[in-house]
Structure 1
Amino acid sequence: MVAVSRLIRPVEHGLVSFDEFRESVSDAFVPLEMTSADHADFRGVVRGATVGAIRISEVTAAPHVIRRTPRTIRAANPDYFKLGLQVRGYCVLSQDGREAALTPGDFAIYDTTRPYQLSFDDRFRMLVVMFPRHLLRVPPAGIAQLTARRVSGRQGLGAVVTPLLRGLGEQIVDASPTVAVHLGDAVLDLVAAAFAEQLHLADGPLPQSRADALRARVTAFIDERLADRELDVHSIAAAHHISVRHLQKMFEADGDTVSGWLRRRRLEQCRRDLADPRYRDVPVSALGARWGFADAAHFSRLFKNAHGSTPGRYRADAIPVTESTRPTR
């Protein structure tokens, strides 16, 4: 479902107490633990919008520490990445034995499936973009090297991503729901490019094992052939001159399966097509078949499990019928 909120504009009024803010943070993101040195005078607010598959939130608050702990992970463990862009103030993000010190304009990525901590020593404002992990098209081995690493907003692709994210709130507020969905997709593509760039910094590419290189080739091969109904584990393995078992073990090492990866990538292409006004008059079943889902009922069930609504409902929310789009008789 596409929901576009006007609450993402920077504001200072409407700040709430410590307990209310702590509850808002866990509701907006994932279960978290929070501490503050001054509960009595604490004020903060979370404002945001859900756009297609991503959640964009702006957090403004007094100093505090947020922790994603093993206990909160056990409480709820959805597969999400979060990107934190520092707008005002200072933050230290810790995950995977690394620390990223963020000043205004800097950003970093972190994984909600593993413990992390964000420490704010003064009043701050941060823009947080949260999205399913599988949507970031960076090899898993690469992501493992990128969590809690500062990306400067003053050089490279970071200098492109930072102003885009800063202005995204107002762009989404003023955009139609259809445009907002495509803005969300564009953000994910640009963020993926920025992190891919981080893997090829001045000292050269980070070391990559033969297994990592093969995994990257396989996933690229799958993405290029998503519309091929004959694409399966056997054809993928044969194309890379490896056994099916070898292929399966390679994905199992990342807690995934070949068929699961292929299904998610196809469903993501279906989601994009359903939100695209160019395909408004194409039957939902035809869009599913285009990406390998020949059985319409099966496609509808898979899509609802992945995105929370049926393909038809998702399209209706993403492309509202107006007088200008209503079919003529």
Structure 2
Amino acid sequence: MLLHASPLHFQDAGLWSEFLSQTFVPLAVREQGNQPFSNLAINEQLGSLMVTEMRCTAFQVDRTTALANRTETALYKASLQLSGTSEIQQRNRKVVLQAGEWAFYDTTCPYTVSVGADAHFLVLQLELGHMQTWLPYLQAALVRRFETQAGSGQLMRQMLLGALNQRQHLSDVAAGGVSAAIMHLIGAQLSECAEVAPDHEQESVQQVQLLKLKHYIAENLTDPDLKVEQLCEYFRYSRRYLYKLFALQNLSPADYIQRQRLEACKQLLANPHYQRPVTELAYQYGFRDATAFSHAFRRRYGLSPTAWRQTPNDAKDCNMC
């Protein structure tokens, strides 16, 4: 097993069904084949990602219409096959995953997953709130086969497996940063491979361009030169066209960059393990000085950075968005 915790061993389909329903969403489970039932599973929290590793004999799970209709939270699952095979069916689509391939599916809709004998795979749970940037492409990306042999897929797989291998040596802050990077790579691959409807081609092209801009911004938030000019030069867009793309979000490029920087700072200040001074954080995220940072933070969230840092976590959850 890749994860370092002791795995749970299941030799009974009923207990396995209970584990899966508690870990993910309620599911109906059936054994398949003649192989003695023997499944191993480990859950590991990696930042905002819950990762479940499984080594299994053959079985099938069904997310029935009745179970899906009881869903309260939008949750997506990404399944990365390490060995063996798995078949996923949803919305009249079907994909068979071999080693090194992954697929993405929606727990708010009925689905069936059939796992082959001696299968080894990882399942990542992704809340909709973490996937807002990629929302235009989620439906087109459902139940499609994605490769991890090159490009963003390979980077995602390497980063995920490396992070799981080093999880016990990662601080909560580091694990949060790694999980955010993994989600950005997942989103990048979704946007690269998403199907484009012919009657919305121009709009879809612009959405892809905007998503790539957002991904680049997220990866370069601490670069003090991250400005409109740098974006135009890197993507070879005119200033006018860049503003047109961000108008899809009703924001200017500079406003979007500042919001993302403020959000990153807010998350760090909420983490009790992050103890660096506010002034250092301001410079780190491209603000010219602590005063400018404080004014921008207060305008956005209604509190100074210091007051936000000192606010109890339960009050943060209730009062801030």
Query: So what's the TM-score if we normalise by structure 2?
Result: 0.66
The change in CA–CA distance for 1:108 and 1:287 in structure 2 (over 3 A counts) is farther
Matches of 1:169 and 1:222, distance apart in 2 = 26
What are the superposed Cα offsets for residues 89-114 of structure 1, whole Å, 9 maximum, x if unpaired?
Answer: 10111122211211111011111121
Matches of 2:34 and 2:297, distance apart in 1 = 55
Mapped contact 2:90–2:143 kept (Cα < 8 A): yes
The change in CA–CA distance for 1:279 and 1:191 in structure 2 (over 3 A counts) is farther
| Residue type of the alignment partner of 1:270 | K
Comparing 115-124 with 68-77, greater Cα deviation is found at 68-77
Q: 1:100 aligns with which of 67, 75, 95?
A: 95
Matches of 2:19 and 2:68, distance apart in 1 = 17
Deviation at 1:305, TM superposition (A): 5.8
Q: 1:172 aligns with which of 161, 167, 170?
A: 167
Mapped contact 2:9–2:41 kept (Cα < 8 A): no
Q: Secondary structure at the match of 1:14?
A: strand
Mapped contact 1:48–1:55 kept (Cα < 8 A): yes
Deviation at 1:85, TM superposition (A): 0.3
Structure 2 stretches of 5 or more lacking a match?
A: 218-242, 251-258, 280-293
Matches of 2:21 and 2:296, distance apart in 1 = 35
Count of matched residue pairs: 272
Aligned to 1:193: 188
What are the superposed Cα offsets for residues 201-248 of structure 1, whole Å, 9 maximum, x if unpaired?
Answer: xxxx66445665677788899998xxxxxxxxxxxxxx87xxxxx999
Higher helix share: 2
Map 1:280-291 to 2 at 5 A.
280-282=276-278, 289=297
Q: Give aligned-pair identity as a percent.
A: 19
Matches of 1:62 and 1:71, distance apart in 2 = 27
Q: Does 1:52 align with 2:47?
A: yes
Deviation at 1:148, TM superposition (A): 0.6
The change in CA–CA distance for 1:81 and 1:268 in structure 2 (over 3 A counts) is farther
Matches of 1:193 and 1:247, distance apart in 2 = 19
What are the superposed Cα offsets for residues 239-287 of structure 1, whole Å, 9 maximum, x if unpaired?
Answer: 87xxxxx999xxxxxxxxxxxxxx999867733553496664449xx79
Mapped contact 2:153–2:185 kept (Cα < 8 A): no
Aligned to 2:122: 127
Structure 1 stretches of 5 or more lacking a match?
A: 1-5, 225-238, 241-245, 249-262, 312-329
Aligned to 2:110: 115
Deviation at 1:8, TM superposition (A): 2.4
Matches of 1:287 and 1:68, distance apart in 2 = 49
Mapped contact 2:13–2:30 kept (Cα < 8 A): no
What are the superposed Cα offsets for residues 281-317 of structure 1, whole Å, 9 maximum, x if unpaired?
Answer: 449xx799458221679996785269xxx99xxxxxx
Q: 1:65 aligns with which of 37, 47, 60?
A: 60
Aligned to 1:271: 267
Structure scoring higher RCO (CA < 8 A, sep ≥ 6) equals 1
Query: So what's the TM-score if we normalise by structure 1?
Result: 0.65
Aligned to 2:131: 136
Map 1:197-212 to 2 at 5 A.
197-199=192-194, 207=198, 208-209=200-201
Instruction: Output the aligned Cα RMSD.
Output: 4.6
